[in-house]
Amino acid sequence: MARFIFVTGGVVSSLGKGLSSASLAYLLKSQGYKVRLRKMDPYLNVDPGTMSPFQHGEVFVTDDGAETDLDLGHYERFTNISSKQSDNITTGRIYSDVIKRERKGGYLGKTVQVIPHITNRIKEFIKKDITNEDFVICEIGGTVGDIESLPFIEAIRQFSNEEGRSKTLFIHLTFVPFLKSSDEIKTKPTQHSVKELRSIGIQPDIIICRSQQSIPLDQRKKISLFCNVPIDNVIETIDVRTIYEAPISFFNQKLDKQVLKYFKLKSKKRPNLNPWKKITKIVLNTKKTVNIAIIGKYVNLKDAYKSLDEALIHGGIYNKVKVNLIRIESDNLKKNEIKKKFKNVSGLLIPGGFGKRGTEGKISAIKFARENKVPFLGICFGMQMAIIEFARNQLKIKKAGSSELDKNCYPVIGLINEWDKDGIKIKGTDKDLGGTMRLGLYEAKLRNNSAINRIYKSKTIKERHRHRYEVNNTIKDKFEKKGLIFSGMSPDDKLPEIIELKNHPWFIGVQFHPEFKSRPLSPHPLFSSFIKAAKNHK
Ligand code: GLN
């Protein structure tokens, strides 16, 4: 029987609802329960796929090809449970479903309204696709009091009323500030936030108080009294030194214990916190650093490359080094500055990307890495740029480019239907871009005795994709003759998935996004190997 845990946030945003939900999920899973995590986002986009990282941070891609909120990345990294399309919903998706149905006459002449039609659709989503899970943790995006999130809050209130309180639990995460001037911890914002929640009909069962320092018993009692929550269910979460400490911290605060107690369940076994303790120790005590340069368009925006940053840190944990990320805006990268900028850099990474801005800087940086034998990892767009660089400078195809960026180029990168047998003609490129991406898990077969084969220790792999353009396979032989090997191919041999350079210590490009599958407790082999190469560089 599934039990539903709803996590709301109050006072301010960015309190770490995602991390709290993910940590709780880990603790429950580790005690033998089957857990599922879901996210409800109050914005009107149907999914975050079309949003710029400037707006919403990274777009996280699931195995089944959904473009989702980056919180699903936290969930997967902490629990190792693969999310699905059905685990993320937005206001936009709900409304579009309801309106579609209305157009088809699905409401039998009724007036279609937020209550009950929108809220019913939200409740359907909460229960959809649930089989034998013990717990479904649903995080509601935004902050209580926002106009946007009201239909979701109303829906979970109705849900709890229908399913019964014994099957539903409300957790509210708030902020408890410390005022330096009066040397006091303030509970009033929490009281107001809970009041707001109660005015919509929801009485939280557990309050998680985010705070910079420990909350004294008196203040916790005050929260308990004013917010009508048992004192043991007022749980503090003090800023952790590294996010990997979060599951340990929530365990020490007995969050999982209180959740199980609420549902009258027993712990099946003690949660295993040793792996988290081990990596926390490594992260906090490692002195040796390697400098990795990331060259991209959104480098100054926190969260724009969330999974990538994490995967690099995981690679560092594996190699017991601290990864120092040097973020370089590709727009500002002048050719003549490259040598100076990369002086202390031991590895270069070009992440995924879209559009022309900043591409020439990326190509120059790749040339530098290739010629100076600096470890290089190109991800998706980064791999495509490496192909262009090689075609221009080694194959001497001066007009080599991607038809995404230049319709008049020689398309070494293009849409799959764009090249003829000789690989040069562009046929009709002005197609509708919507729904044409290769998304989600695809298989690749790896060439025997290649670097990538040694790294993965496997003949076939499955990785997540999110791109529209492909490497032009018709000129594969020309690349290989000059030393750039297509060492990973789609099972039908049509689509190049991985490239690697012979006579270079570590130069690999991948058409997929390995970062989505890296976990702190099981770092991705590609990142472990890349960081190892960087560690050994110079
Ligand atoms: N813009 C490129 C494409 O659509 C690469 C996308 C990416 O890096 N995710 O193929």
Q: Using a pLDDT cut of 90, give the percent of the chain over it.
A: 73
Residue nearest to atom 8 of ligand 1 (CA): 352
How are beta strands 60-61 and 67-68 bridged, if at all? antiparallel
Q: Is 133 exposed, middle or buried (0-12, 13-18, 19+ CB in 10 A)?
A: middle
Q: Identify which of 415, 437, 468, 513 to mutate to test ligand 1's pocket (most ligand atoms within 8 A of the CB).
A: 468
CA of 51 from ligand 1 middle (Å) equals 14
User: Is residue 411 lining ligand 1, measured as CB closer than 6 Å?
Assistant: no
Which CATH code fits 3-278? 3.40.50.300
Residues labelled as active-site residues: 380, 513, 515
CA of 141 from ligand 1 middle (Å) equals 28
CA of 53 from ligand 1 middle (Å) equals 14
- Give per-residue pLDDT as tens, 433-474: 445 688 999 999 999 999 999 999 999 999 999 999 999 888
Q: Please report, for the chain, the start and end positions of each structural domain, with discontinuous segments joined by +.
A: 3-278, 286-536
Residue nearest to atom 6 of ligand 1 (CA): 467
Strands of the sheet containing 376-379, edge to edge, are 322-329, 289-296, 347-350, 376-379, 507-510, 496-501, 484-489, 438-446, 460-467
User: Is residue 469 lining ligand 1, measured as CB closer than 6 Å?
Assistant: yes
Q: What is the pLDDT of residue 260?
A: 97
Q: Read off the pLDDT band of 358 (50, 70, 90).
A: confident
| Ligand 1 atom showing the smallest separation from residue 381 Cα | 8
| Ligand 1 atom showing the smallest separation from residue 351 Cα | 8
User: Is residue 439 lining ligand 1, measured as CB closer than 6 Å?
Assistant: no
CA of 404 from ligand 1 middle (Å) equals 9
Where does 418-495 show beta strands of DSSP type E?
438-446, 460-467, 470-471, 484-489
What does DSSP assign to residue 30?
A: T
| Ligand 1 atom showing the smallest separation from residue 355 Cα | 1
- Give per-residue pLDDT as tens, 255-310: 999 999 999 998 888 899 999 999 999 999 999 999 999 998 776 777 888 999 99
Task: Give the CATH number of domain 286-536; options: 3.40.50.880, 3.30.450.40, 3.20.20.210, 3.30.479.30.
Answer: 3.40.50.880
CA of 19 from ligand 1 middle (Å) equals 28
Q: How many residues does the chain have?
A: 538
